[in-house]
Amino acid sequence: MLFREQMGPQSVSATIPLALPHPDVVRVTVHDADGRTIRTIFAGLLEAGAHRLGWDGLDADGREIASGSYYLHVAGSAGETSSRTLTVVR
């Protein structure tokens, strides 16, 4: 499972490209600096191949997140995980 986030320059948004070698149940979440999940971007089955997921910079309640460091976490059903730091500047 490979991914590389791309933050939008004019707004707080991210495009998350994923490449899966086989179909998998995937969960993509954003966490704050304390490790709390602030948004689930995707949870479900993805087929093998390339995918692009988007995040609009909002939390689970639809509010804009504050400036700071956040963590993008991708987990597969067999326990594979990958995380990246996202820096939000408003």
What pLDDT is recorded for position 2?
43
pLDDT tens across 14-48, in order? Answer: 888 999 999 999 999 999 999 999 999 999 999 99
pLDDT at 47: 96
Buried b (16+ CB within 10 A) or exposed e, 18-30: bebeeebebbbbb
Asked if residues 59 and 39 have their Cβ atoms less than 8 Å apart, the reply is: yes
Token couple for 19 = 């490449």
- The residue range of the domain holding 44 is 2-88
Task: Give this prediction's pTM.
Answer: 0.84
Tally of domains in the chain: 1
Q: What is the CATH number of the domain that holds 33?
A: 2.60.40.4070
pLDDT band at 7 (very low <50, low <70, confident <90, very high): low
50 vs 46: CA distance, rounded Å: 9
- pLDDT band for position 83 (50/70/90)? very high
> What radius of gyration do the chain's Cα atoms show?
13
